[in-house]
Structure 1
């Protein structure tokens, strides 16, 4: 059996699910009594979400709403990187939430080092913002997946292209 099996470790999210979660959050803001008159806006950009609202108190309520809606849509809360709260015109506050996508070089190096140290028969190679893991045995790959799920990384990890 000379065949080799592999999978990719990536950090991605479903953009359409994020759009749906933002739509649900916006609808709930418009219907909730305590948030209705805050003139809150949620804008989804290419790499960030911008929240503009009346106070820090309502901003915290919107964070909770957004996290709840995202969790219900199977989005990891690790994709949200909350920026600094800024004062905006007219006694309003604004915050930018950066969306994390891809594995940084430092984290990719940590993952490949962990695999090299703990699994002798498994190879890991960094390919852009993903890590390719390959081995001759599917059981070894399953063990690597289980080990990576136990580790706490600053981003959500998914396993794709399992062959």
Structure 2
């Protein structure tokens, strides 16, 4: 009998994130309350840096970024907001780390949940993803629905791919 499987990953569409950051930059330039704040938003490889003049402007820019990300079907769970820090020249900087991949402790938690709820399905940790396999497609569907239901238990967005 054939063995079916799928991968549980935590990833995001990089191009959609670039578009969301660009839209946020444009909105910051046109909004009256943010025009004179000299706000700078920089998208790095693994993080986003916001530099602005006040805590109020920082919160407004964060809200804008979250709204633009949601409109582009990106999960807000991928943002790990660092502590705002004051830098020279009356400026505030906040670094937002982008979550990508499943950390080992979270992977073990997911693996334990799958083993407890759907005992006939096996979950194996493979780097920064999980491979779930079973002899029945119905059990794999049960695992997917279980992880969708309990998605709020995990601090990162989960996607399913390589369904075979």
- Structure 1 unpaired stretches of 5+: none
Aligned positions, number? 162
Per-residue displacement from partner, 1:124-145 (whole Å, max 9, x unpaired)?
1000000000011111100000
- Structure 2 unpaired stretches of 5+: none
Per-residue displacement from partner, 1:3-43 (whole Å, max 9, x unpaired)?
11100000000111000000000000000111011110000
C-alpha separation in 2, matches of 1:7 and 1:68: 31
Of 143-152 and 65-74, more deviation after overlay is shown by 143-152
4+ residue stretches of structure 1 with deviation over 3 A? none
> Matches of residues 22-37 of structure 1 in structure 2 within 5 Å?
22-37=21-36
Aligned to 1:141: 140
C-alpha separation in 1, matches of 2:119 and 2:7: 18
Aligned to 1:64: 63
Aligned to 1:106: 105
Per-residue displacement from partner, 1:75-128 (whole Å, max 9, x unpaired)?
000010010111111111000000001000001001111111111211110000
Aligned to 2:116: 117
C-alpha separation in 1, matches of 2:149 and 2:19: 29
Aligned to 1:74: 73
C-alpha separation in 1, matches of 2:102 and 2:119: 23
C-alpha separation in 1, matches of 2:120 and 2:52: 53
Aligned to 2:161: 160
TM superposition shift of 1:71: 0.1
3-state DSSP class of the match of 1:42? Answer: strand
TM superposition shift of 1:150: 1.2
C-alpha separation in 1, matches of 2:99 and 2:117: 28
